[in-house]
Structure 1
Amino acid sequence: MSGMLTAWVTELMTGAPINQATVSISNKQKETNQQGLCTIEQYNTENDERREVQKKRKVNNREHGILVVAKDDDLCMSVNIYTDASVLNAYVWHVFNDRGLYKPKEDVHIKGYVRLLKVKGEAKLPTYARGTIDYTIYDPRGQQLQQSKVELNIYGAFDIKFTLPDNVNLGNGYVTFSLPDSQSSTTHYFKVQEFRKPEYEVSSMVRPTIARYCHPIVDEYVIATCQGKLFAGGYLNDANIQWTVQAGTTTFTPPKRSDYIFGRAQPFFCWFGNNNQTEISYPEKYFQGKTNNKGLHEIKISYHGIEQEPRTTIVHALAAITDLNNQIQETKTQFIIHPCTYYVGFQLSTNYGKKNKPVQTKVIVTDIDGNLIDNILIECKVIGYGKERKEDENGLTVFEEIKDEQTLAVVSSNKDAVNIDYTPKLG
């Protein structure tokens, strides 16, 4: 199978396009232009024997290759460069319903569009499908509810309506659609549930509504309150309540300071996973009670002390209220506990650096409202890790870990950020 590929090669640090870089894939290679671009046509991703097998089976296949880029002594690769092979006309479906969730005895409306993608050269041109669609409706247990046909209109669209039985099974029902002449089909799902309208509403809050800070020796507390009110009027009194209180570390960025990093930073190249090994999650606490004649219930949440590494903490208080009919509704409130009065934020001019070349960094000190604070001593410790090539006692090459640690001190300003330049010694 052959394909066409366009590659764009740029410098990692600056993003500038790379000229005359050699781009190779499979049996083809080409050099980039001044914009860092090159296009490779008719490159093969499979051998002739496999291609013949696919033709006999008449199936679409997806092959991948490895892209290699070389420039001077630098080389990088990108794997799984996919090429989709499709030489067959294909039908595509788009089906949707009006609500998604239904009760027994309710009407279900389903509409859909069918297109025929005809291959013309290297393009697939959509056309309106024609014909009659057979459809069968099933309940969540797979029992057939109805079977019928519907004619596609001139725009390749269809619209059906059916009523769910009173004794229909609850769960995920589905409808199968098929075009018999084309051997094309699809399945559409919908939910069936028996539910009641809630007879009451719940809400929650914490007080006092002030900023909260950790203290190393003094206990502090917050009152969490929940309330249930009947829609018909009055309060939900003498109702059972189950409280769940959970606390854990979180991140906090003062208002209007989103361009700075506060607290422990997560490397940008670790966005795809949770690499914060210092995250703390405290054990959940459970409390039970009953609402009073005003539908209220309160708990007192106490906290004290500071972790070895001060971190912002968020506390969630979830209240589940159950009425006499065993209807359960939940309400959740939360509050933040700050580890200190001020926050230190930093901003790097680049995510990459070079050995013996200064890297510019901006540092600020703010309160929890984002206001700059003046005359605060800031100590910045920059630590770099690397490996150094050496020979051991037997003359073999080994790599020893080395560390570059620098400590810089500046004083904050309430006018603007303070600039700090440090020079990496490793690289």
Structure 2
Amino acid sequence: MARTATMLRRSALLPAAALVAAMVGGGLASPAQAAAPTANATAVSTTGVTVYGAGFGHGRGLSQYGAKAAAKKGLTGAKIAGFYYPGAALTSKGNPALRIRLSAIDGGNFTFSPVTGTTVSGIVATAATGKKVTLPAQPGWHVARSGANYVVQKKVGNRWTTAYTLAAPVTFSGPKTLKLTYNKAKTDCRGGGTVTFDGSLTATTSDNAPRYVAKMPIDTYLRGVVASEMPSSWPAAALQAQTLAARTYATAKISASRYYDVIDTQQNQCWDGAVSETAATNAAITATAGKVLTVGGKVISAEFSSDSGGFTATGGVSYLPTKADPYSLASGSPAINWVKVVTPAQLAAIDGPAGLLKVTAVKVTKRSSGGRWGGRADSFDLTGTVAGGKTTTVSITGTTFRVKLGLKSTYLGFRK
């Protein structure tokens, strides 16, 4: 979907589909309820400080709630994309293959599970040496790394017993649809212990650890992305704009310099396989088939976030400018204004156990991107005391402040 932070990285930020419930119950206020932040600095009282802000996410590129409102006003998906990525052209790039790193089983193992019926059949395992093995029909096949190889095991009694040892990397293909049961559940995006998709799977090694990569055409990948990033009940034009952003973002990530192109989490975009597919989002993929956004013939990094707060943030390139976003303001987003009380203990924890023991003042030292209150807070000074009682000022990034305190965005300030 993507978050640059000291702790958090994702171009696509928090997906609207996953966040609506969290935002409604997460200390948010309606526009009428929220007081505007009027100060860049505040003393910390015994109860802490009250932070006021707007929007959800980094604010660069497409605002998902803004896209919803723009669609309701009659804009097409292409027009919505044009508003949020000015100067970008719609270009046909076909349907290239994409490699998706399965984060839940980094360093782990998995089992091939039946998609239908009671057995797994038709899978061909191809080793790095070129050796091919057709796996006989079984209730399941377990795959795990063993040194420089992968072992493919079948269940004998209550135990997995090795049937084949193959040199890594090993690619599994054959059936149109594969279903994997992870040895540990995925905790990001929709989560869960299984994934089903149309494509192939490669078991490889990186950093001396097992890694697993699904491969499929990019529009097949998008079937597991779009509804995880935007509610499928939203207008068709909004879903098409989201699809254009997601396809463009993923296409720009294709690189021969590493063993995968994208990760299946918020670090890039949420991908959850077939469980995410809906008729509405699949229709949006079909309606925009092969189309990506380019500038000067180059596919752009089409970042997006949940809600710009009424003013987009600059991405440092022409197609990610800072500009007023009236669509987000009109969207009815529950995050258009929010407020959160931050305790003294939470502020002190930002600097870690070896740093400030007590924070007495907070100050925004740099803002950018325009909009209300001088723009987004890029950096802060925390003033307080360390062990021995010495007064010290610590500088941190706006993103660190946001992530450590669980705030919705860096588009924020304090009330005098």
| Shorter-chain TM band | under 0.3
Structure with max Cα Rg: 1
Higher relative contact order (CA 8 A, sep 6+): 2
Which structure shows the bigger proportion of residues in helix conformation?
Answer: 2
Which structure shows the bigger proportion of residues in strand conformation?
Answer: 1
TM-score, normalising length: structure 2: 0.23
